[in-house]
DNA sequence: CTTTCTGTTAGAAA
DNA sequence: ATTTCTAACAGAAA
């Protein structure tokens, strides 16, 4: 579910709500989602106060004032991190538009409680997401394995060019490769390719300099704009307060199969590229 | 009812 | 070395 703009939206929402707060309890209801001994996980987090939240690609990293362990959180496809304050909890749960039973629900697998009575719910329908504590060296190692982050880093055209260097795979596959560029997922890969007028199935090394420049600009633009609108809720994404993203209605190709292209008379066509559902206007994005 | 698809990615296979 | 395929899981859609 969440790609860079969604994860960044969650990060910003959590920053203002949990930084400085001390964790009083960690309720692990589904041990599989904790990638380490659960007892150790709970004991380390207990009585720790969140000092900062960083992001690399789609990975969130929480640091603490009392120790140097970093909490890594990956939401994968359907993970959610929803913060609920004491008042709402006392009133009987979070007023979630599509859910009447509030939180926690059957997908709330890990629940953090804070000193002020608020809680943070890690929900994940498909259970692909995970949490893990790592020491500084391991954190550095993991961060270093990621490619350039288009928002955290400078993301110059030269960096972009270098990331694509010599790739014969489809350009979309390279955009999705987190070790080259960190944070782009299936939605924004399709959106960026459309904006740049490039067919996602084209071999990366066949793009001209002009096309690469258009794609580089398209990536920067789409990600920044999506963050500005609080991300895309296609299905499960919720921000840190349980709200939906507002970028969904601004999507121009993703999920618009058989609908009219916003730029021309063409129809959006759905196929499979790099093993993923891929949306294209064949008029605006010729294979050449 | 059965089959296919889904926003991710680690790991295996090619 | 790089690229492609599959599995992990639950549920919605066809």
| Beta-carbon count within 10 A of A37 CB | 11
Q: Which chain B positions come under 7 Å from a protein C-beta?
A: 5-10
Place of tokens 């420049």: A213
C-alpha angle with apex A92: A82 to A85, nearest 5 degrees?
40
A126 touches strand C (CB under 7 A): yes
Q: Which residues of A are catalytic?
A: 2-3, 58, 276
Residue whose C-alpha is closest to residue A47's, from A28, A71, A23, A69 = A23
Residue lying closest to nucleotide C8, CA to C1'? A128
Calculate the angstrom distance between C1' of B6 and CA of A90: 35
> Does strand C come within 7 Å of the CB of A127?
yes
pLDDT of residue A288: 76
Work out the number of other CB atoms within 10 angstroms of the CB of residue A156.
11
Task: At A259, list the tokens.
Answer: 């609908």
With distances taken from each CA to the C1' atom of nucleotide C9, the closest residue turns out to be A126
Q: What phi and psi values does residue A174 have, to the nearest 5 degrees?
A: -70, -40
Distance of alpha carbon A179 from the chain centroid: 15
Q: Is A155 left (phi over 0), alpha (psi -120 to 50) or beta?
A: left
Whether any strand C atom is under 7 angstroms from the Cβ of A168: the reply reads yes
Is any atom of strand C within 7 angstroms of residue A120's beta carbon?
no
Select from A38, A34, A47, A131 the least CA-distant residue to A81: A131
Q: Confirm if A202 and A208 have CB atoms less than 8 A apart.
A: no
Query: Is strand C less than 7 A from the beta carbon of A205?
Result: no
Q: Which residue is nearest to nucleotide C3 (CA to C1')?
A: A169
Is the peptide bond between A280 and the residue preceding it cis, with omega within 30 degrees of 0?
no
Instruction: Give distance CA A212 / C1' B1 (Å).
Output: 48
pTM: 0.96
For every one of its 288 residues, what pLDDT tens digit does chain A have, with 9 covering 90 and above?
799 999 999 999 999 999 999 999 999 999 999 999 999 999 999 999 999 999 999 999 999 999 999 999 999 999 999 999 998 888 766 555 433 347 899 999 999 999 999 999 999 999 999 999 999 999 999 999 999 999 999 999 999 999 999 899 999 999 999 999 999 999 999 999 999 999 999 999 999 999 999 999 999 999 999 999 999 999 999 999 999 999 999 999 999 999 999 999 899 999 999 999 999 999 999 987
Per-residue pLDDT at A97: 45
Q: Which residue is nearest to nucleotide C7 (CA to C1')?
A: A128
Distances (CA, A) of A146 to A150, A177, A251: 11, 9, 27
């Amino acid at each position: 579910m969440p790609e860079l703009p969604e994860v960044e939206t969650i990060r910003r929402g959590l920053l203002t709500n949990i930084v400085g707060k001390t964790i009083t309890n960690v309720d692990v209801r589904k041990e599989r989602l904790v990638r380490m001994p659960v007892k150790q996980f709970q004991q380390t987090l207990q009585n720790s106060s969140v000092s900062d939240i960083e992001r690399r690609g789609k990975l969130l990293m929480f640091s603490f004032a009392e120790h140097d362990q970093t909490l890594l959180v990956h939401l994968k496809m359907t993970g959610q991190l929803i913060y609920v304050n004491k008042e709402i909890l006392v009133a009987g749960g979070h007023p979630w538009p599509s859910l009447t039973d509030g939180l926690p629900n059957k997908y709330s697998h890990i629940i953090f409680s804070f000193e002020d009575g608020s809680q943070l719910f890690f929900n994940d329908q498909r259970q692909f997401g995970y949490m893990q504590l790592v020491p500084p060296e391991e954190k550095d190692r993991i961060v270093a394995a990621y490619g350039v982050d288009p928002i955290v880093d400078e993301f110059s055209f030269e960096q972009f060019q270098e990331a694509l260097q010599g790739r014969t795979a489809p350009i979309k596959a390279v955009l999705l490769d987190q070790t080259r560029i960190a944070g782009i997922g299936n939605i924004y890969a399709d959106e960026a390719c459309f904006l740049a007028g490039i067919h996602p199935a084209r071999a990366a090394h066949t793009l001209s300099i002009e096309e690469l420049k258009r794609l580089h600009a398209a990536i920067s633009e789409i990600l920044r704009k999506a963050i500005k609108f609080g991300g895309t809720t296609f299905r499960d994404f919720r921000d840190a307060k349980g709200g939906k993203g507002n970028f969904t209605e601004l999507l121009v190709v993703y999920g618009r199969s058989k609908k009219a292209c916003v730029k021309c008379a063409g129809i959006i066509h759905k196929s499979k590229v790099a093993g993923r559902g891929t949306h294209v206007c064949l008029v605006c994005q010729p294979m050449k």
